[in-house]
Amino acid sequence: MTVMEDASMNTNLHAAFKREIARIKSGLQRIDLADTNARQGLARRYEFFSQSLHHHHQGEDRYLTGTVRSSADPAEVEVLDQMESEHQTMLATLNLLDEQFTSLSAESDKAAISDNFDLLLSSLSQHCDHEEAVGVPIVQKYLTEDAYKEFMQYNRKAPNASLVFPWVCDGADPAVASQTWGVLPGPVRLIIKPMMSRKYQRFTADCGV
């Protein structure tokens, strides 16, 4: 018996992060960085991605691996350590990208930014596979109801939380999209799905990516 029976949101978020890297990378190739509107739109889209990825990893470290550590056996603690150290590896690349996007200008080196996205995608892909295969089952084994509630509360307070659901569904298979919306209780979904979807469409149009 686990308090986190359904870990599909984690898996679907991972896929969305990977798609987003490809989306921003292709946007970067397409736009003229001397065009202020296009440049600011891309930077805004990147900011959403970066904040969401930072938030995802901090939440896992703090509320998931961080809280189950004291119950885990030595072999499981080793896996939890690997999860946190993989987050740190990605943080180093994400920080470089954060700097590149904060100072994005007509003179920015598109190839250097793309190289960092490739590096991030490679470590993110390895980490997601690793976490889904062996990290999540350890968390499911030991997570307490209180820690899970705090984790869910933390996710609801994510920066741009209202964009997350439609973004996770953007480019996903219809079955994944319905699974994603399906984690919300029906009456809540009925009200917020159209609201969030409209907001995400506006955000996408404003960013131009």
Contacts to Fe ion by CB under 5 A = 10, 60, 131
Nearest approach, Cβ of residue 25 and Fe ion (Å): 21
Nearest approach, Cβ of residue 190 and Fe ion (Å): 28
Nearest approach, Cβ of residue 159 and Fe ion (Å): 17
Nearest approach, Cβ of residue 124 and Fe ion (Å): 9
Q: Residue 78 corresponds to which tokens in the numbers above?
A: 């080793």
Is 38 or 79 the residue whose CB approaches Fe ion more closely? 79
Is 39 or 49 the residue whose CB approaches Fe ion more closely? 49
Q: What is the C-alpha separation between 47 and 121, in angstroms, rounded?
A: 17
Is 10 or 52 the residue whose CB approaches Fe ion more closely? 10
Is 130 or 189 the residue whose CB approaches Fe ion more closely? 130
DSSP for 114-172? HHHHHHHHHHHHHHHHHIIIIIHHHHHHH--HHHHHHHHHHHHTSTTHHHHHHHHHTTS
Side-chain-side CA neighbours of 159 within 13 Å: the count stands at 13
Nearest approach, Cβ of residue 87 and Fe ion (Å): 6
Cβ neighbourhood burial of 40 (10 Å; 0-12, 13-18, 19+): middle
Angle, helices 174-182/186-207, rounded to nearest 10 degrees = 120
Is 113 or 169 the residue whose CB approaches Fe ion more closely? 169
Q: What is the C-alpha separation between 41 and 30, in angstroms, rounded?
A: 13
